[in-house]
Structure 1
Amino acid sequence: MALVNKVYGLLFKRTSTFVVTIMVGAVVFERVFDQAGDALFDHLNRGKLWKHIKHNYEKEE
Structure 2
Amino acid sequence: MIATLYRAVLRRTSTFALVAVGGAFIFERTFDLMADTLYENVNRGKLWDDIKHKYE
Q: What TM-score do you get using the length of structure 2 for normalisation?
A: 0.85
CA offsets 1:4-61 (integer angstroms, 9 cap, x no match): 2111110111101000011001101110111111011101100000112223444xxx
Q: Which residue of 2 aligns with 1:14?
A: 12
More helix by share: 2
Question: Quick check: 1:41 aligned with 2:45?
Answer: no
Long gaps (5+) in structure 1: none
In our comparison, the structure showing a higher alpha carbon Rg is 1
Backbone CA RMSD of aligned residues? 1.2
What is the TM-score with the length of structure 1 in the denominator?
A: 0.79
How high is the sequence identity, in percent, across the aligned residues? 46
Q: Tell me which moved more, 21-30 or 46-55.
A: 46-55
- Matched letter for residue 19 of structure 1: A
